[in-house]
Structure 1
Amino acid sequence: RQPRLVTMSYKPRGAKASVALVGKGITFDSGGLCIKPATGMATMKCDMAGAAAVAATVVAAARLQLPVAVTGYLCLAENMLNGNAYRPSDVVTMRNDMTVEVLNTDAEGRMVMADGLALASESHPDVVIDIATLTGAQMISLGNRVAAAMANDDGLRETVTGHFQSAGEPMWPMPLPADLRSALDSPNADIAHKGDMWGGMLTAGIFLSEFVGPKKGAAKKSKNTSEERIPWAHLDIAGPAFNDKAPWGYTPKGATGYGVAGLLSFLESYA
């Protein structure tokens, strides 16, 4: 199936702020040419949990008539094998004109999310939040019940984490160390889409940060500092998005709906 980037908007009159939500929507992830083992593939129908959370949040914000404009960007695709599948060593030109060297086709989520972030940035919202089942490294770091929050703005990271915690969705703040950026250096493109084995969750976040655009009025083509870019938070929900074990608390077996309560709590703070 062909990929789609779907937008959903709720724009109340007199909105106090504008928030863009970007969700990973890989409807099935086989790993592509770097195919997953069979034991790791059965739950990959859940790789669209970020996009599902964004869609539900936009609808809920409209039904609650929250005084904040919300636009959801659903980055929808399948990661499958056929003659048109992308390959390791491909160089892809992204929406913001950056070139990306593909090293592993099973790191596909960050590719669709990068274009979603670039598109979301074009309308210069006050805040951009992305949510994605992005890395297995997130589960290695924090287990399968706690999500990770990263950001280009420490205050935003702490605020988002607090809203998720208060909404009953466990989350923990994580850094984006500047020294790890060199792990994404490529001799063939502006950036490689995957680093080495160290800090995989963090380098994925650093990769995405490159596609967050400048604030309104900042120079579009300059290498913007974090202060010049739109405030952005990246939520890696690989662990808590899908529960393949026994139910616990309010969490059923299967898809959990993680993220909707926390995102709504954040949006309600503008009321």
Structure 2
Amino acid sequence: MKYQHTDLSTSDFVEENAIKASGPFPKKAAIPPPAKKRCTPAIAGGLAGFYTSHVKNLAVLGELELQETKDQARIDRLKANNEHLTAIAQDYASGVSLHDWKRRLSADTKRAFSFLGFSLQSDAQVINFRLGHEVAEAALSAKKGPTDYLSALLRTLGIVDLVFVLELASSDSEENHPLHLHGIARIPATVSTQAIRQLLAPEPDLGASPPTRGYRQRWSNKAIAVTELQTPGTWVSYSGKEFDFTAHRLQSNPGYASRSATNAGRELYETLRVWIS
């Protein structure tokens, strides 16, 4: 028998057979992109801040473009500023999931956008309403829950467009009831803070029949405070600071948004998604 001569050395032979035994080398595994963060209320506040600055610039640009003598240098600066704002917002949102509003957006983010969207209303104001003992106890025992009770009570004054969060403060003092609310509302010009106080937190009158414990003001701690809104994102964070604690204590959702506030929140959210896409 004749043996066929090959030019393979011993090491070549071993290597060739090792390759045949192991098959082709595996491809490098694809690295999945990092998971996106959910859009928290804090992120919502940041995005809304960028967007409102962008909108204000557009309003000023519109006025400047209508002037007979155009300030071109200022126009160019505002346009550059808006391009910069858009780029920052896009970068800020690049790692954030902006889900469909109706089906996948979390309840706390919807609440934040309802605050933020409603804050863009020209006549929206910050509200801090304390509650007298009688009103607070009636709200807490209401069949439909305290938020429905209080919103219905405010409707009797014509305050129908609002968003608020209840807070049940932890306090050792028994002088005033710990339940109060923070929010944003459109209050008719005909409704005074005194009328709101008479409804929600009247002065204590222990000599009345029956006696009323009401709400006693102390120094700067006003029963009813209505002020101008300065920083919507900060106000959202402050209003919801005790949300989980209050929800646990009440065993119910302490947040309320009128249909107008919810619609304003959804409109802002959808506009933001388009703007940064």
Q: TM-score, normalised by structure 1?
A: 0.25
Identify the structure with the greater helix proportion: 2
- Structure showing greater radius of gyration is 2
Identify the structure with the greater strand proportion: 1
Q: TM-score, normalised by structure 2?
A: 0.24
